[in-house]
Amino acid sequence: MPHPQIRHERCKGCGLCVDACPKHVIQMSRKINQQGYFYADVVNESECTGCKLCAVACPDVGIDVYGRKRGDPK
């Protein structure tokens, strides 16, 4: 199944990935990373379609998306 992987330590807490995800897979955590930012976290992984909009939106290249997109041929 497709899923995003967020490098928490790279995250600057901008929230762009949260806004970019049409499936509400990502939310901001209440925890702080070593840089002192509230980081983005995966909360709803099973809804991920693998569209990669979150990865494209991240200015800090902090998100990778793994797995096939839903609907892609096997």
Interface with ligand SF4 (CB under 6 A):
4, 6, 11-17, 20-21, 23, 25-26, 40, 48-54, 57-58, 60, 62-63, 65
* Contact between 67 and 49 (Cβ < 8 Å): no
Report d(CA 37, CA 22) in Å as an integer: 24
Nearer to ligand SF4, 46 or 73 (CB): 46
Smallest gap, in angstroms, from Cβ of residue 73 to ligand SF4?
A: 18
Smallest gap, in angstroms, from Cβ of residue 74 to ligand SF4?
A: 19
Report d(CA 28, CA 43) in Å as an integer: 9
Which sign does the torsion angle of CA 18, 57, 29, 70 carry? positive
Smallest gap, in angstroms, from Cβ of residue 37 to ligand SF4?
A: 7
